[in-house]
Amino acid sequence: MKLTVWTYEGPPHVGAMRVATAMKGLHYVLHAPQGDTYADLLFTMIERRDHRPPVSYTTFQARDLGSDTATLFKASCQDAYDRFKPEAIIVGASCTAELIQDDPGGLSSSMNLPVPVIPLELPSYQRKENFGASETFYEVCRALAKPCDRTPEVTCNILGPTALGFRHRDDVVELSSILESLGISVNVVAPLDATPEDIGNIPAAHFNVMLYPETCETACRWLEREFKQPFTKVVPIGVGATRDFIAEVKQIAGLPDTPVDESRLRLPWYSRSVDSTYLTGKRVFIFGDGTHAMAAARIAKDEMGFEVVGLGCYNREYARPVRALAKELGIEALISDDYLEVESTIEALQPEMILGTQMERHIGKRLGIPCAVISAPVHVQDFPARFSPQVGWEGANVIFDTWVHPLVMGLEEHLLHMFREDFEFHDDAGASHHGSHVPAAQHKREEAPTELLVKDGVTWLADAEKELRKIPFFVRGKARRNTEKFAADQGLDAISIETLYEAKAHYAR
């Protein structure tokens, strides 16, 4: 038993729903009590889908438990077939139905429905949403992909995008255009918008693009074994990764190494332009799913000039590569799905910026640290009306804008340093281009602190603490942390103004 306040991932059957809802002509019969229908709203509200997810829930009740939930399952299965006439059906159990052990797979196969019925075994008490999506997509491929001739020209499949994915819709568009610029057309995109028939044609492509390992690595590996289809390992998020991805594609497809059109890419110049100098060495904490967190770490370090002070992911399946990357960066990876643990890590590290999920956005709000969102779990804000991919050239441009937006900008930063006490242009007001601008009067601080600040046995003397408060908010956390560490290292038990500036000189970069 584990106490959970907020979760990064839903249960595995929600992952299966992400696959079913992404596809067309596939129906999911889910053995589940009535409350589990809440999952529909994830798709209809968060993603604003205009159709109900293609899911029939058996919605058994307590009184059914004594009688015959198996018959109820079969009736639901038949009703779903009769009403929706799907090309294929997936069947499975949610957490509660798993306990009553009705065996949806066995029951449905005994019904001789005239379409393929694919049973799912998703252990609800061990695994989570990403596993559910990955396993479902793999099972769907295994049941429906059939041997077929390769297309005459070089084609590939884009695998991994699902419903309720972080920018999946736009990533597919951007990636398709990059592949097209290389002269490679897309055979099948799956599961997003694919029919069961399309899944059957997956083996016709020359190779697979593994767009999101979280949802398709298992399927990619199986397709490689079964149909000798190689797959790409680089996820093209960021400038360097996109270039590496293109090189990998050229190599797999046997294309000549001719220059590629990068005219749409703006990140490199934006990052080199003098206005971006202020980004140098910003201390960032990165957290998300393994794939997006690792991509963000590379962009942060190599393409934005940040210092990565923390890196982690919530999905244990990708713990190993995340740990390896963290080690390369000289830091320790945080592998956890415990929201409170992530929060306390951020609090201890005092980064100047968080690149995280919606959860970290709220942590940032509470701690006064700016945050940009880089990964699922998704929120209605992660489905913007405008085109905003993460992959490819346009993805890099979008990421530059998204990450810079929460920060206080270059000259503004200097002005805040120079005129700290200005009544409306002051540090408590936050960045001036944000709505949360607060007039000074509402935030007036007491003139002298009434009690001394004590941290780990080190006491801030009143005048030093007053001086600390004059430091603008976006570097105050760092200054405090550095000074306390400096004092502790020097064996001091009190911090004076002198100590504050000694520490500043000591940590000068």
Partner 1 sequence: MNAFAPVAPPATGCGSAPVLKQRGQREVFCGLTSIVWLHRKIQDAFFLVVGSRTCAHLLQSAAGVMIFAEPRFGTAILEEKDLAGLADANEELDREVERLLARRPDIRQLFLVGSCPSEVIKLDLSRAAERLTQRFAPHTRVLNFTGSGIETTFTQGEDECLAAMVPVLPETDAEQLLMVGALPDVVEDQLTGMIEAMGVPVVRALPSRSADVEVGIGPNTKFIVAQPFLGATTGMLSGRGAQHIAAPFPFGEEGTTAWLRAVADAFNVSDEKFNEVTAAPRARARKAIAAHAERLAAKSVFFFPDSQLEIPLARFLTRECGMTAIEVGAPYIHRDLVGPDLDLLAEGPTISEGQDVDLQLDRCRAARPDLTVCGLGLANPLEAEGLATKWAIELVFTPVHGYEQAGDLAALFAKPLKRREGLAL
What residues make contact with partner 1 under the rule CB under 8 A?
Answer: 1-7, 9-11, 13-14, 33-42, 44-45, 48-52, 56-62, 64-65, 76, 79, 83, 94-96, 99-100, 123-126, 128, 340, 358-359, 362-363, 365-366, 379
Given the complex with partner 1, which of 37 and 459 has the nearer CB atom?
Answer: 37
Given the complex with partner 1, which of 10 and 392 has the nearer CB atom?
Answer: 10
Alpha helices in 284-351 (DSSP H): 290-298, 319-328, 339-349
Given the complex with partner 1, which of 41 and 454 has the nearer CB atom?
Answer: 41
HSE on the CB side for 370, CA within 13 Å?
A: 22
CB of 13: closest distance to partner 1 in angstroms? 8
User: Active site residue: 79, 275, 422, 489, which one?
Assistant: 275
Q: Are strands 207-210 and 155-159 parallel, antiparallel or unpaired?
A: parallel
Given the complex with partner 1, which of 81 and 486 has the nearer CB atom?
Answer: 81
Asked if 252 and 227 count as a contact pair (C-beta separation under 8 A), the reply is no
Work out the number of other CB atoms within 10 angstroms of the CB of residue 327: 12
- Residue 55 β-bridge partners: 28
CB of 466: closest distance to partner 1 in angstroms? 30
Amino acid at 5: V
Asked if 336 and 312 count as a contact pair (C-beta separation under 8 A), the reply is yes
CB of 58: closest distance to partner 1 in angstroms? 7
Token representation of residue 399: 């990421």
Which residue is associated with the tokens 């103004």? 497
CB of 507: closest distance to partner 1 in angstroms? 32
CB of 243: closest distance to partner 1 in angstroms? 37
Q: What is the 3-state secondary structure (H, E, C) of 144-202?
A: HCCCCCCCCCCEEEEECCCCCCCCHHHHHHHHHHHHHHCCCEEEEEECCCCCHHHHHCH
Active site residue 337: no
Given the complex with partner 1, which of 11 and 213 has the nearer CB atom?
Answer: 11
Question: For 361, which DSSP code?
Answer: H
Q: Could you give the residue numbers annotated as active site?
A: 275
